[in-house]
Chains A and B, each alone.
Chain A
Amino acid sequence: MARVEKVKKIKSDIMETMALLSRKTVIKEIIHDWVIVPGKVLIKNKKAFVGFLILMFYIFMATIGPYITPYPRSFTCPIYLKPTLLKWPPSLEHPLGCDYFGKDIWAQIVWGAPIVLKIAFIAGLITTLVGITIGMIAGFKGGIVDSILMSLTDIVMTIPGLPLLIVLASVIRASDPWVIGLMLSVTAWAGLARSIRSQVLSIKEREFIEAAKALGLSTGHIVFKEIMPNLMSYIAINFIFATTGAIYASVGLYFLGVLPFTSFNWGIMLNMAYAQAGALHSINTIHYILAPILAVIGLQVGLILFSYAVDEMFNPRLRTEL
């Protein structure tokens, strides 16, 4: 009897809230969820705020940068010019100096940013989506589907990713960011799939899911409205880690020279400085190799610092405190 009462109460609660949610309040909710709460979290969390600023800088560099920075052409400045920002008076003409082709290094960093970010974002997105889908299906369906999917996941998880990537990259010779992103996520999704599955298994047993099922809500509703919000912080963190992993791998593949050098990329700069220009040998050319190194480290640090706030932003249990 008590159970029926409980279900009735929940049902009326839901009806009430649904009535409240007119279109205007929905928009308000979205703004609240995606702008106000993250903003508050960022202001409170200093580390994450610094990370946010760093990421913003990179995003500006990748979007607006190529419009305001001239295309890096060969022989436009003296070969191995020292960084002019360190001189007195500093000048913005060639802020980070020039390489052995007489190409401006800062311009190369800026023109490399869009492709690096694009590859990282696409790879992160595909990895996360595949991981969520496989993990959700395995966790929900259970039984034979679960065992097959999890065996597959185990197999993919133990295949060493980097050697496989190098072999794949040297065969596919891709330069399209979507193809590279797809390639990078070939083995990366397995870890996320496994943990999403175990999360789904534990959430599936909770009371509110039982209640939703008893109410006859559709599977779509249960998956996207009831389970997803509880996994959101988890997914967001994993998206960030997938992104840092993709930056590591893609820049590394360019550095090794197994991907074709068709556009600007920090990995190509690293390769040129290391293998072609011998920038390691002499202190006079060190700025050439230091520029892409700092660009990669800065981006990784920005992402890591930002990830400190993600849990607070998306975890419904932590958010109620705000």
Chain B
Amino acid sequence: MNWIIKRAILAFLTIYFAASLTFVVVRSMPGDPIDALTQQLVYQYHMTYEEARALAESIAPYVPKGNIFEEYIDYMSKFLRGDLGVSISYSTGTPVVELLADRIPWTVLVVATSLIISFGAGILIGMLMAYKHGGRLDSALALIFSITRSLPEYIVAIIMLSIFAFQLKWFPTRGAYSVEPGFTLEFVYDVLYHAALPIMTWVIVHIGGWALGMRGSTISVLGEDYITYARARGIPSRRIVFTYIGRNAILPIFTSFMISLGFMFGGSIFIEYIFSYPGVGLMLYQAITNRDWYLMLGTFDIIVIAVVTGTFLADILYGFLDPRIRRGVR
């Protein structure tokens, strides 16, 4: 119990530290949102600078002005109450929380689906590799996976987009849906159709890591005495594979599964940017290019909270899953 409280404090500190760090960094950014908006107006509507500046100031009255320290206190106290301020670039004054609520489901959909697919397939392939380890199939797969694992996802995404969306025209090139949203079968199908390429990209990049991790973990379990003993006792091999080896080998991998859920949230920027997928990552990118301070901070903080929560839950769950820890041997 003590240990959980310690972990919770550390998780809280992490969020606090990251949020403060980015607050200071973002506030020291050159060019404030009004500058960015003015520039945009001059560029788009060919206004004079004075006109554009006046217009920008009138449509962006929410730009924080004042002492950075006071602002920090103000931001943090609101942050604790779940108020992340308002956006400047999105229809002036929309609460950041509202914008994020629109975007989070899309990122979660893509990230969670890809994680489940790549985890499931990776685990199975990894176990297969471990049984055949040293063989030709195993070494070929190990080589391929160690390469795909190190491929940058933006490169995989560009290749996928180029081949399957632009050349073959099998999949849409951008967005999350193209029909009227609603609880219809058509909409669900459309959403999956749009999410297919981002998901495939994630799976290609991540499956190797899971497979190699599971392979290593299974090989080390295979060498344990209790497996030899179970075989000697004549337990059916199917049971040995799943309950004896599988369960013990998955345990260390499962922690990284939880952690990944959080981290993929943060890694979604490239994929969402390339597929113009309206998730949290794309929002962070847009907020940065628009110099939309509060939106930037809010999006970053949400990503941090997702990652920290994932890691925290992973630690707690691991404690419950591993009987050695559960019974307090550690």
Contact = CB atoms under 8 A, between A and B. Distances in A.
> Is this pair of chains taken from one and the same complex?
yes
Interface of A: 47, 151, 154-155, 158-164, 166-168, 170-171, 173, 244, 247-248, 251-252, 255-256, 258, 270, 274, 280-281, 283, 286, 289, 293, 296-297, 300-301, 303-304
Contact of A167 (B22, B154, B265, B274): B22
Given A160-B307, A171-B29, A296-B152, A256 B18 contact: no
A150 to B, nearest CB: 10
B210 interface: no
Contacts of A173: 30
B17 to A, nearest CB: 6
The prevalent SS among residues of A at the interface is helix
B285 A166 contact: yes
Interface in B276-330: 281, 284-285, 288, 296, 299-300, 303-304, 307-308, 311
B304 A270 contact: no
Contacts of B288: 166-167, 170, 258
Interface in B154-209: 154-155, 158-159, 161-162, 166-167
A274 B167 CA distance: 15
Given A255-B154, A274-B274, A304 B147 contact: yes
Contact residues on B (Cβ < 8 Å of other chain), bracket: 35 or more
Contact of B158 (A47, A256, A270): A270
Nearest to A151: B10
Contacts of B155: 270, 293, 296-297
8 contacts: A154-B10, A155-B18, A158-B11, A160-B303, A166-B269, A247-B152, A274-B158, A286-B162
Nearest to A155: B14
Given A151-B10, A154-B14, A171-B30, A280 B284 contact: no
A289 B167 CA distance: 14
A155 B308 CA distance: 9
B265 A160 contact: yes
Given A280-B158, A297-B155, 17 more contacts: A151-B13, A158-B307, A159-B14, A160-B303, A161-B266, A166-B269, A166-B285, A168-B25, A255-B270, A256-B269, A256-B273, A270-B154, A293-B159, A296-B152, A303-B150, A304-B147, A304-B150
